[in-house]
Structure 1
Amino acid sequence: MKAKTGEYIAVHREPVWHESANFVFHAHMGEEAGKNEWEQLWGKATAPNRVVLCCIPFFLYDVALGDEVLLTPDNVLAEVVHRSGQVTFRVWFGERDQANRKDSIREIEAMKPLMEWSSENLLALSVPEEEAQRMADYLQLRENEGVLQYEAGRS
């Protein structure tokens, strides 16, 4: 199976490791209203049908920046073959208070995660495993305050 014209494809306009990326592939996210949904991903080819992920997944679970993945012959993500030790968080700001939003973004940036925006409201973050709890605690605090919603990229 591969992405077809007319199906939803989430794209990465500015992959965090774009300077290393030399390959674009897709991951199937499921089906909505009878149409397949995909996430277009950027990677660095390491061997035939193997790439290291060079972007932070906006929607996929259990795949993180730097993971080495195996692709099908149609260049669709099949499985993770080596974990990078990175943890993904997704932050949704929505129609929240703009002042609190700016403060939150500034505080998140101060923690120095790798960041990638999907839209003006959806931010993907990547941190090393040893920083994940600190980030989760901060995001939970801000969620409790009603400033944002977040989720971890692991199911």
Structure 2
Amino acid sequence: MIGGITYVSHEVPAWRGEKHYIAMVDLAPFDLPGMLEQIWLREADVEGSYEVCCIPFHVYGLALGDVVQKDESDTVDRLIRKSGRRTLRVLFAEPRPSVDARSALRRAVDSAGLLSEWNGDRLVAIDVSDLSVMQPVFDCVQGEIQGGTAFWEWSDSRDFRPA
């Protein structure tokens, strides 16, 4: 937290390359006032547009590969084009149960060839480019979801809205 604002960062963006840009997304429109998420971008095919290179932890309506625009203060202010990908987010609650699904989830994500990013050890954002490979991912966390020790959501359950 800096100056009363909490920053959510991506330590290892899914598509990290040599030439990238960082922009912020104000999370207030998503019921998270006082929080900003740092989004990694690279230049896209249209001048002034950027492709999202990380898997959003908290931003709704954005996914890996979406094309956005940023304003002069380096804040994402417009979604230009969807990539067709989705983001599944899973939050693991505390205290942890005796059967912890996080290791099984990591293995299922790797086995399915999916990309993911973790924010700490409790929140994971999973890039979903092909829904047909997701069943093993769902299966490994189902017990925790039913038991109330894990929660999931699709990031596209709400539209992107700039502040």
**TM class by smaller structure:** 0.7 to 0.9
Residue 59 of structure 1 corresponds to: 58
TM-superposition CA deviations, 1:1-57 (whole Å, max 9, x none): xxx8542111111111112651000001018xxx63210110102354311000000
2:92 pairs with 1:93 = yes
Residue 161 of structure 2 corresponds to: none
Residue 43 of structure 2 corresponds to: 45
Misfit runs of 4+, over 4 Å: none
Offset of 1:129 from its aligned partner?
4.8
Say which structure is richer in strand: 1
Superposed CA RMSD in Å reads 2.7
Which has the higher relative contact order, 1 or 2, with Cα contacts under 8 A spaced 6 or more apart? 2
Taking only the aligned residue pairs, the percentage that are identical comes to 23
Pick aligned residue for 2:9 from 8, 11, 33? 11
Q: What are the residue-to-residue correspondences of 1:1-155 with 2, within 5 Å?
A: 5-19=3-17, 22-30=20-28, 36-46=34-44, 47-95=46-94, 96-97=96-97, 99-101=99-101, 102-131=103-132, 134=135, 137-138=138-139, 141-142=142-143, 143-146=145-148, 148-154=150-156, 155=158
- One-letter amino acid matched to 2:78: E
Alpha-carbon contact 1:140-1:150 (below 8 Å) kept: no
Deviation larger for 110-119 or 145-154: 145-154
Structure 1 gap segments, 5+ residues each: none
Cα distance in 2 for residues equivalent to 1:27 and 1:148: 25
TM-superposition CA deviations, 1:68-119 (whole Å, max 9, x none): 0011121111121111111001111233236432223322332222100111
Alignment length (residue pairs): 150
Structure 2 gap segments, 5+ residues each: 159-163
Alpha-carbon contact 1:30-1:37 (below 8 Å) kept: yes
Question: Secondary structure of 2:100's match?
Answer: helix
- One-letter amino acid matched to 2:39: L
Alpha-carbon contact 1:139-1:150 (below 8 Å) kept: no
TM-score by length of 2: 0.77
Deviation larger for 61-70 or 110-119: 110-119
TM-score by length of 1: 0.81
